Amino acid sequence: MGKRRLFSWRQELLAKSREAVLSAVQVFNNPLVKFKSETFIILMVIAWTYLLHAYYRQKRIEYRYFYPGPIRRRFHRTKHGAYKYWELERCLNDGACPVDRYAKNNLMFLIGLRHEIEHQMTLNLDNWLSGRYQACALNYNMYIRQLFGSKYGLDEQLTYSLQFMELSREQIEAIPSEEDVPPRLKAYVAEFDNKLSEEEFNSPKYAYRLLFTRKTANRKGHADKVIEFVDPNSDAAKEIDKQYWVLKDVERPKFLPNQIIKLMEDEGYGQFNYYHHAQLWKGMDAKNPGKGFGTPLGKTWYWYEPWVKMVRKHCEEKAHLYLGPPRRKKAQP
């Protein structure tokens, strides 16, 4: 009887978990729904929670909160008497958790993001963070198959969404960018990302990143897939142009101050120097980690591309001060 009940509860948890994932993806892919990110995150947190509850139940690991003390446990309960089960973050932090650190990073990011957005409306997250949502869904499918068998996978239920029109360059450029995201959320994302190593940040389990293509085959019968994957280090990827889809390893470019000065010099702002750069970042408090303009590595500060864009904008606005060749020191006689 005990085993049957254990199996029954596990099956119920898995069924609800899978249904939550299917609902999350369907909502996100629905062009009529505007509340995508918030709904996706909430449903995926529920799905992962039930998945790990099913795993702990299968392993006979207690996942209810209880008071320390005698052998007979006294469990935490709600005011109406229900047991208090572990939330997702507690499930992830347990020593018996089967989820690897890259997938954990993705989930901890989404949990933190949920805390930021659950009490207020937020715009423009759907496209900006879609790579992290995609990674969350792929990670889920991998783990439910790995922990409970391939028959539980969602491969057959989910596929890529179809569109009624081709994306033009104008449409792609019109997609809301990071600049349209509220500063408080940019600060959260920057702070979370900066705590990760480069290996963790670049993991496809943390954020799944793709570039676009029209086709990857020149023979009939071989160019009918919307998406194909190409190793970034292969000869095919080296020959590929901007029309192609390619699965790409992404690493945030970093710049030292001298590189930024040289970039501005090459663009004609030769009068812009180290002093001007230091005055600019100090005046904008640009080394505040919450602003996401750069990161310290050891004792050296590196700047990201958004800061280079900010410097460029400053030089353009103050062109009358910076245009011209750089001032070179006269050689000593």
**C-alpha distances in angstroms, 67 versus 73, 77, 96, 176, 296?**
7, 11, 20, 48, 43
Question: Which comes out higher in pLDDT, residue 301 or 159?
Answer: 301
Kindly tell me if the per-residue pLDDT of 221 is higher than 70. no
Looking at residues 213-222, what average pLDDT do you find?
A: 50
pLDDT at res. 148: 92
pLDDT at res. 222: 44
Domain segments of the chain as ranges: 2-159+169-191, 210-249, 257-322
Label residue 325 by pLDDT band (50, 70, 90): confident
324: left (phi over 0), alpha (psi -120 to 50) or beta: left
Q: How far apart are CA 20 and CA 36, in angstroms?
A: 14
pLDDT at res. 245: 39
Kindly tell me if the per-residue pLDDT of 12 is higher than 50. yes
pLDDT at res. 276: 94
Q: What is the pLDDT of residues 228-245, one digit of tens each?
A: 555 656 665 555 544 443
Question: Which comes out higher in pLDDT, residue 169 or 295?
Answer: 295
Q: How far apart are CA 261 and CA 191, in angstroms?
A: 26
pLDDT at res. 330: 43
User: From the DSSP assignment, how many helices (H) and strands (E) are in the chain?
Assistant: 14, 6
